[in-house]
Structure 1
Amino acid sequence: MVQSLSLTPEVETARVMLASCNGLVVLGQRLRSFFTNLSLWNPSTGFHRKIPSPVFSMKEGTNSSSVAYGFGHVMATDEYKLVFFELLDLAVHIFSTRDMSWKVIRAPHSSFPGYGMSIFTPRSSVPEYNGVPLLVSNGACHWVRNWVPEPAIYAFDLAEEEFSKLSLPLALMPELPNGLYARQIYTQVLREGCLCVWTWNCYGYAEFWEMKEYGVPESWVKLFHFSVRDLPDIFVSTIGWTPVLVTEGGTVVFDLYDKKFYGDRELVRVKCHREDKPVCSGRCKIEGAIEGLAEYAVMVYDETLLSV
């Protein structure tokens, strides 16, 4: 079912959906060098609260397309945190709904998103206007560094505000003779909330893996795999695709770009099986999603009555 939401005037001023958690959506407007008009919104209740812009929004030379960000809930203190990772100064800007204010901490480049990593999904040939969203699971923002010195998952814990590193499945680590790795690996979050990674190669073969027990490398389990050649009617006309929603049962919702025109977008639901070929079980065209440089995003939203 496709449902349209009525927007209030104060919500309409925000052009970008940055992130969502527990029914709360982070809205904002991206100008060339900063984010502005940030706010929290609950589409189900109409709740809307403005939040101040981060400090780096006033800095000359900051490019929002190189800023990574995440939004999640801290259970221990029952607060929500919005985090921007600003590459120019290796600064982490943290907003808390408990204090309704920002603070800034510094980070080493060895852990920072953007250093030695591919932060874009296979649609990287398409310009990104909204910055780089990081996926949140188990109370932490996650990203994969694909290049140096060995692929790994990095995390930023929202409660402790510290960086850590998690091991990837060993089966995804075969090295080529030239010292590079055969796959690109990206973080994903299962619909059930567990940390997941998915990987693809230049031949269009993709795999999805779940970490059954967070932080335990031995708990990685392969969920399913598929090849774009198994669904030529779907993937042959696209310039890129990204999984938006993944379930442990094998349902994947893809966001597809049409290669003829960047504005043609489609959501496709695919049922993946461990050994059998994938089956398309639903398609939804996004009409008029992009006109010129208008901004567009797809995310998973859980309906709640929450406000902060």
Structure 2
Amino acid sequence: MASDSAISTVRGKYNATKISVWWDMEECEVPKEFGIDVITENIKIALQKINYCGPVSFSAYVDTTRLPSLIRGALESTGISLCHVPAGLKDDRDKKMLVDMLSWAIDNPAPAYYLLICGKKDFSFALQQFSMRGYDILLAHPANLCDALFPSAKSVWNWTSLLSGDFPIASGESHPKRLLGQAQGAVRMNRNAFPIPILFTPNRNSDINEEECQPPSKYKSVSVALHYLKEEKMIPTKENIQDFIRYGDRGDRNFDVEEALNYELKHDMIESQNLGDLSLYLPRNGYLWECVNPEGGREDQYSKATWDFIESFLSSSDGRIEMTISECRFEACLKLRNLCLHNFRLGRIIS
């Protein structure tokens, strides 16, 4: 039997582990009977009831232009990071959340915890991959929960019970769907049949220390970059991968892209293909997606109202400062998209 000191050590590590909360505000709205000011506090209380006591970060995804300024300010004052996703673009919220969740994994290797507040099946594969790589998955869902999400979750709340700070309504640990999901996942791992290389998969040989098999987390950045470039309709060249990693929202200016590319190529995490004089990098067993020609832009592809909006921004003091301090075309266009062209793919803006 383990000693009390050993148990205390394990509990201490468990309690101090980071927890990231990913909230789809469009699907899981706050009922009128709940005050904005108690959301984060009650969620932390619910987590503490099952011994998740580490630092908690909150990311909420919503069309912020639809939120009254008072509500927006109240949410941000409680520590919630609001991520603007324009309404009306199909699945954009899900895609943005998935990219950000993958990016968070790069900076926060397992053990760490994901709490997903959503019920869509689009997240089932990603949650399964995170779970197999040592992340604890917690789930809060609206009434229309997709069954495919349940097998990966250790604990499950319905949305209102989490908002109330209650205990989870179920545990996924011994649920038949969770056990089935783990068995199916093991088969996929043995066959090396991943639709996309979300994260590195270590050799499961019991004689090998998995920590020694795990690559440094920075090497996972190329796969995340490819996923991002696909969503933004950009060509997967070394230059674009480098720009995303160095100048994206969580950029690392000193990142050695050449070293990371060589590592992922060597370990079959990605593959290289030539298209004429272009060297392209793609997910393993992947294919080239629809891309926007970066040199094919035309003035008439934007409406006059859009051009007027761009001109107004660029002539403002904030606009001039942001463009002046930008180090490359990618960074400047990303700022344009984030600040005033929310409805456009980055590839289109760069063109």
Q: Under a length normalisation based on structure 1, what TM-score does the superposition of the two structures give?
A: 0.30
Structure showing the higher strand proportion among its residues? 1
TM-score (norm 2): 0.27
- Structure exhibiting the larger radius of gyration computed from Cα positions: 2
